[in-house]
C-alpha cells in the first residue's frame, strides 16, 4: 500500500488542487478571423492609398477654412471621444469605481461618434492625398491611419465572439486609441502648432 492518497499525487495534492493551479488553456482560434480581416483592411488601405493618383480634393470642408483645418478639428473630436472610450471602459471593467448605470451607453455612443468623425478625414487623406512616404511625419501618419482601421475592424469583429481571452478587447481597444493618438499628434497637433488654431 503506497502513501499516495486516492485521486492524489505523491506530494499530497489532489486532482482538483492541480486544476486550480494550472491556468486554463486560452482558445485563440476565434481571434484568428478578426486579426486576419483587420490585417487585410490595413494592407488594402495602404495599397490603395499608394496606388491611387491623388486628386487634391475629396470633400468640401463645410464650415472650415480649408481641408487641413477640417481634418484637424474632426481628428481632435475623435481623439477626445476616444478618451471618453478609455475612461468608460475602465469604469465598465471595474478599474475605476463609479456607479454610473448609463456608462455602457456612453461607451457605445462615444465610440460610434468617434468613428464617424474619422470617416471624412480618412476619405480625404486616401482620395485627395494618398499614402505618402517621402516625409517622416506623413509616413508615420499614413501607416498609423491604415493600422487604426485595421485594428478597429479586428476589434469590431472580435466584440461579439465568445470564449476569447480576457485581454483581447482591452488590447485591441488600447491599440486603436494609441493609433488615434498618434494620428492626432501627426496631424492636428502639427497643424495647430505650425499653421495655427483656426477653423
Task: For residue range 132-175, list pLDDT tens digits in order.
Answer: 777 788 889 889 999 999 999 999 998 888 877 888 888 998 99
Cell of 29: 482560434
Contact status, residue 125 vs residue 71, Cβ threshold 8 Å: yes
Looking at residue 176, what is its pLDDT?
Answer: 92
What crossing angle do the helices spanning 67-92 and 168-184 adopt, rounded to 10°?
150
Rounded Cα–Cα distance for residues 47 and 139 (Å): 14
Beta pairing partners, 8: 14
- CA–CA separation, 8 vs 12, rounded Å? 6
CA dist., res. 76 & res. 104, Å (int):
23
Beta bridge partners of 14: 8
pLDDT band at residue 49 under the 50/70/90 scheme: confident
So what's the pLDDT on residue 12? 54
Least confident of 53-57, 72-76, 82-86, 144-148: 53-57
**Pairwise pLDDT comparison (182 vs 9), residue with the higher score:** 182
**Cβ neighbours for 196, distance < 8 A, ≥ 6 positions apart:** none
Given a cut of 60, whether residue 92 has pLDDT beyond it is yes
Phi, psi for residue 143 in degrees, rounded to 5: -65, -40
Q: Which three cell numbers stand for residue 171?
A: 488590447
Amino acid at each position: 500500500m503506497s502513501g499516495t492518497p486516492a485521486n492524489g499525487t505523491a506530494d499530497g495534492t489532489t486532482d482538483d488542487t492541480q486544476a486550480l493551479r494550472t491556468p486554463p488553456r486560452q482558445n485563440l482560434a476565434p481571434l484568428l478571423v478578426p486579426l486576419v480581416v483587420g490585417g487585410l483592411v490595413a494592407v488594402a488601405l495602404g495599397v490603395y492609398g499608394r496606388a491611387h493618383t491623388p486628386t487634391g480634393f475629396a470633400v468640401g470642408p463645410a464650415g472650415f477654412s480649408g481641408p487641413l483645418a477640417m481634418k484637424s478639428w474632426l481628428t481632435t473630436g475623435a481623439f477626445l471621444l476616444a478618451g471618453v472610450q478609455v475612461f468608460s471602459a475602465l469604469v465598465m471593467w471595474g478599474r475605476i469605481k463609479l456607479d454610473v448605470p448609463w456608462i455602457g451607453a456612453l461607451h457605445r455612443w462615444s465610440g460610434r461618434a468617434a468613428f464617424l468623425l474619422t470617416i471624412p478625414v480618412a476619405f480625404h487623406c486616401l482620395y485627395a492625398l494618398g499614402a505618402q512616404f517621402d516625409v517622416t511625419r506623413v509616413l508615420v501618419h499614413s501607416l498609423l491611419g491604415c493600422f487604426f482601421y485595421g485594428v478597429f475592424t479586428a476589434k469590431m469583429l472580435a466584440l461579439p465572439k465568445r470564449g476569447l481571452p480576457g485581454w483581447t478587447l482591452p488590447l485591441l481597444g488600447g491599440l486603436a486609441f494609441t493609433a488615434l493618438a498618434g494620428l492626432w499628434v501627426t496631424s492636428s497637433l502639427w497643424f495647430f502648432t505650425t499653421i495655427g488654431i483656426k477653423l
